[in-house]
């Protein structure tokens, strides 16, 4: 085994530890691969920085500039095994795989990279070829922390049950069903049930009919502890949304997406945000399209507990100049990202917002 192979083996054996990755970066420097070393260190810098902050953005910029030059060279050893790949902390941790070659591709990728996140890709034309359980057979399933199924064309309850009740996937912390035909009754049973106990991030975006089932499931799912929940495009009546936001499962949520792409005001406009929003640990809040208006934004800017927010999405909320003024006058907000696009805010007030939040990327 060469020095490089031994160092990469240490990364595979200790995927959560930055030390083997930094030792590998030192070896790259000594071996004349300075750009590879700089890339590893830049991505680790980004991972250690406060999310969305200036240090995170700068480190990510450095890493992306290097990846734009060397992506083909640094991914050649897995390019035939996977359809796409993504780097985290200097190594390939994300892969996308067609369902019919999922097991073989995941095995090949996991032998050489610390893969933790996988996407299953299966078109509707392949649904009748074989059930999903025949494809997801890799012995490396147990090392996955995240599984993205939004392009897997799941349609039957039995396939959702296979994923959530599979013992090899019991350690999943992050799961995406975005845009799928999730059976509402099954979702209620799953959320209230014991399967996937480590699940902390769930993406149900763009599944409009799940509102009541979600509310029932989270009301009965007192054992759940979500840190990330994406409900963009889920139709929630105000009472259902209130049940979701007040559930024990969201008591420690850090990233909450409630984008509303439908005509008319969203359900958030019917609630008193200061009382119902789970502010305690909230860092990202996306309320795009809810049509809060200036008064709704005022509730956020006056909420002392909203001081923990770093990412605030207010696109398409009819803020106008009055809403921008409330943001400018807020004594508590300390943002690294602010989206106020499509709100009719004049250029001089956008400039004032950028001055008010100097560390933020203000999108307007």
Q: What is the DSSP string of 56-73?
A: HHHHHHHHHHHHHHHHHH
Reduced to 3 states (helix: H, G, I; strand: E, B; else coil), residue 195 is: coil
Report the C-alpha gap between 354 and 364 in whole angstroms: 10
Domain ranges of the chain: 1-76, 77-163
The radius of gyration computed from the CA coordinates of the chain, to the nearest angstrom, equals 22
Please write the tens of the pLDDT for every residue from 152-166. 988 788 899 999 999
Please write the tens of the pLDDT for every residue from 328-356. 999 999 999 999 999 999 999 999 999 99
Per the confidence metrics, is the pTM higher than 0.75? yes
Q: What percent of the chain is predicted at pLDDT more than 70?
A: 98
Report the C-alpha gap between 200 and 253 in whole angstroms: 9
Reduced to 3 states (helix: H, G, I; strand: E, B; else coil), residue 91 is: strand
């Amino acid at each position: 085994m060469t020095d490089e192979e031994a160092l990469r083996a240490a990364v595979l054996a200790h995927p959560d530890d930055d030390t083997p990755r930094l030792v590998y970066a030192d070896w790259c420097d000594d071996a004349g691969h300075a750009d590879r070393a700089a890339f590893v260190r830049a991505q680790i810098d980004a991972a250690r920085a406060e999310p969305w902050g200036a240090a995170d953005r700068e480190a990510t910029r450095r890493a992306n500039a290097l990846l734009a030059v060397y992506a083909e060279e640094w991914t050649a050893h897995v390019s035939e095994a996977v359809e796409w790949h993504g780097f985290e902390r200097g190594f390939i941790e994300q892969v996308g795989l067609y369902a019919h070659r999922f097991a073989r591709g995941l095995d090949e990728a996991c032998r050489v990279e610390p893969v933790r996140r996988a996407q299953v890709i299966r078109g509707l034309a392949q649904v009748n070829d074989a059930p999903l359980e025949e494809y997801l057979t890799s012995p490396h399933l147990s090392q996955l922390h995240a599984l993205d199924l939004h392009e897997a064309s799941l349609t039957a309850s039995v396939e959702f049950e296979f994923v959530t009740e599979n013992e090899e996937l019991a350690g999943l912390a992050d799961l995406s069903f975005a845009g799928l035909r999730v059976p509402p009754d099954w979702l209620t049973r799953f959320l209230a049930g014991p399967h996937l106990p480590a699940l902390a991030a769930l993406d149900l975006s763009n599944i409009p009919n799940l509102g009541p089932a979600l509310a029932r499931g989270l009301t009965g799912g007192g054992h759940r502890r979500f840190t990330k929940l994406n409900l963009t495009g889920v139709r929630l009546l105000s009472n259902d949304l209130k049940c979701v936001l007040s559930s024990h499962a969201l008591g420690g949520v850090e990233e909450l997406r409630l984008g509303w792409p439908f005509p008319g005001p969203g359900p958030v406009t019917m609630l008193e945000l200061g009382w119902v929003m789970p502010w305690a640990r909230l860092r990202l809040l996306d309320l795009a399209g809810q049509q809060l208006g200036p008064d709704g934004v005022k509730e956020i800017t006056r909420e002392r507990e909203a001081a923990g927010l770093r990412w605030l999405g207010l696109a398409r909320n009819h803020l106008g100049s009055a809403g921008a003024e409330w943001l400018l006058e807020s004594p508590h907000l300390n943002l690294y990202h602010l989206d106020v696009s499509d709100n009719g805010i004049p250029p001089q007030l956008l400039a004032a917002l950028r001055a008010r939040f100097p560390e933020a990327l203000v999108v307007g």
